[in-house]
Structure 1
Amino acid sequence: MGVPQPPPPSQHLYPQEIQLKLYQAFIFSIPILFSIILVLLFYLFYLKRRASSLSSPPLHILPSTSTDPQTAYPYSTQPCRLDLTVQFLDKLPRILFDEDLRTRDSVCCVCLGEFELNEELLQIPYCNHVFHISCICNWLQSNSTCPLCRCSIIPSSKFLNPAPPIIISDPPQQGGISGSSSHIMSLPHQQEEEVGASTNTTIFQGNDV
């Protein structure tokens, strides 16, 4: 008698194997499903935020009801320094570069380029520094000071509004002479500032003898 051969493997799966396959598929699908749900939640949150931002009414700036111009428009009364700088730019003196200036200034501090003899330069009268015309014009578009020493290009108020002269009338001469002569007296620097701060011109008149 021959040795009995084992039966061939069945092509059908047992119930335990089917359950194992299903369990493995379920385990692998859980992270994927969780990721999809998380992405959908973030997308819904984004849509909600965008819808709320679009539906919100725009902000309107209410006009000021204050009658005081300084409180209603706090910046309108402030002087524009750049406009003054451009205004005084045309009044700055222009000089020709020579040997005397070479010993003092030989390089433009804006572009670091050397000056040439007989070259027309722009000079700041308050510090006597010289620059190329194009360089200082570009500099003063956003600045109001000297590029080298930082002194102000715009003169102070005593130069913009000079103090009025004080007129002193001489008393009439004795002997019936009715004519009088007036003189303009120049004030010292300290008195000029005091007169410039006042709003009225002081006039001294002589008393009749």
Structure 2
Amino acid sequence: MPEREQYGRRKTKVRVLFSGSVVLFLTTLLTFFFIFFFRKAIVQKLGYFFSLLYLVLFVASFSLMIAATSKYIHFKKRESVKKRSPKIILIPPPEPTSERNWTFNASSRTDFTVDLSRDEVVINALSRYKADLLKLMELLYNGPTKDERCGICKLPFNKTSIVLQCLYCKALFHYDHLIDWLFAHHTCPLCLNTIYIQ
């Protein structure tokens, strides 16, 4: 996948930058100790200009190491958030042959092939999330209603739309719009919670 390759390249760049800056800083530090112990001989042979030039080099390499370390820490923090972040739900368009409106009781769904008693047991066990689960099941069976609109473009969904739903705010988005948004922002456009593309 191109996104996975891009992530791998970014990870390699950050590691190379971090290790390179650490090596540069350690080399500069060793040179600093060498100059410090032999400063009288160096100042007599090369003058104060060399010492001043070296001090500037030392400060620059130290600043580079701090910048690379902060970038590395930021990258690691984003990586851990990515592992904890919930996934977005992909809701495919409903089958065109099915024009049925499902209701959520067993008597009206007897022709459906899934074990309905098991579905309702799971939903009742998760009563805290019952409303969200029922809405999600309705979306999966029927697709979005005419009243529901994309959270980005504000246009209604058609029967062939592939829809994504944020698990935090339950907002719905066109697949293409949300994927483009997440490549740039990594947050939900409405609730601003962190979401990463897998």
With normalisation by structure 2, the TM-score equals 0.34
Higher alpha-carbon Rg: 1
Give the number of the structure whose residues are more often helix, by fraction.
2
Larger strand proportion, structure 1 or 2?
1
Higher relative contact order (CA 8 A, sep 6+): 2
Structure-1-length-normalised TM-score: 0.32
